[in-house]
Amino acid sequence: MMLFTHGLVVVLTLFFTFVVTTPAELPPGGNKFIIHQSVPKPFKKTGTTALLSAYRKYNSTAPEGLVKAAATNGGAVTTVPTQFDTEFLASIAIGGQIVNLELDTASADFWCFSSDLPESVSSGHTLYNPSLSSTSELRSGYRWSISYGNGSGASGSVYEDNVRVGSTTITAQTVEVAQQISSKFRPDIDNDGILGLGFDNINTVTPTKQVTFLSNAKATLTAPLFTANLKKGRPGTYTFGYIDAGQHTDSITYVPVDCVNGYWQFTSNGYAIGNGKFVPTAIDSIADTSTPFLLLPTPIVVAYYNRIRGAVYNYAYGGFTYPCHAPLPDFTLGIGIYKAVVPGSYMYYAHVSSTTCFGAIQQNDGMGFSVVGTVFLKSQFVVFDVGALQLGFAPKVL
């Protein structure tokens, strides 16, 4: 039976999931390794800019109010952001040259700043120089181009080179070398590019899409999966090839992944706000390690901010803001029989003034799906199982 309320479809059944405590965590043979977050983050996008970035990333039409807010008011952050909370960067070796790349589960391009870029946009970044690598080879006739938020983008040539991530080395991995890049990338000098951990079908290389690092690496791993244990205000970790049982405190609940659109897409079965009643409803979502928000249908977001005294949709900033002194309720997302709780203290994104804050839960208007970004992922232990095409969620020590 289905009920229609506030524009949402409410489903009075649970979706198919299964729970496994140790799903072949350490089978013999293969490779396994852990990556620690390598660089503190002094740079943080404003709430308005970061929210617009999320829409542009998914090629979705942003609400008119958000576009206007970005054009007329950058929503400047007035306080220093917490280190480690903005991006997950890891040190990656390309042809023996070390660069810091953001691990992004919602893209499939492996691109980096390069020596081909003008100094005006590359200054301060670590640059990959294919001519200094004895194992690099130009893919003649191949190009790539990708767009991100706020109109930013990058494009360039395509090489093959040896890539080492942790203890795994992939020979002749496709590396997309930036030759043109938006000036908006320059302030984030610690970020030298992206290592996409999405699925091959959203790779942007032409004339032929290329196989991702994850697709090449999965056969070499002890188990064809990786895990994300991101932290609030502390460096987090990724493991590849195994599940560290010490990183979660209870059994892991798995849900199927629909990768047709190239994303780690799954369906949650409801939500609760604070100590309120659980509301069953289908929420199609994408797990995205490079988007800082929890982007949900408008009725859910409105219900959340209705619980915060003084919270409003702020047209000047294109999103919901609230008085910084106000306590924020927890948010619970249903994943099968598991209820994943995000503490209210995680729901802060940034200050827009000394007294007003931009929330980390915002609307997904026009996207057609929800985005479960790092505000949620930092509260959970998450398994990305590429072999079984499933996502696993479990509680952990926060």
Q: Any idea which residues carry the catalytic annotation?
A: 104, 288
Q: Cα separations (Å) of 209 from 158, 260, 334?
A: 11, 15, 35
Strands 279-287 and 370-372: what pairing? parallel
What's the one-letter identity of residue 86? T
In angstroms, rounded to a whole number, what is the distance separating the alpha carbons of residues 231 and 374?
A: 9
In angstroms, rounded to a whole number, what is the distance separating the alpha carbons of residues 87 and 102?
A: 7
In angstroms, rounded to a whole number, what is the distance separating the alpha carbons of residues 41 and 89?
A: 9
Q: Is 283 helix (H, G, I), strand (E, B) or coil?
A: strand
Q: Is 75 helix (H, G, I), strand (E, B) or coil?
A: coil
In angstroms, rounded to a whole number, what is the distance separating the alpha carbons of residues 344 and 355?
A: 18
In angstroms, rounded to a whole number, what is the distance separating the alpha carbons of residues 134 and 160?
A: 11
Cis peptide before 207 (omega within 30 of 0): yes
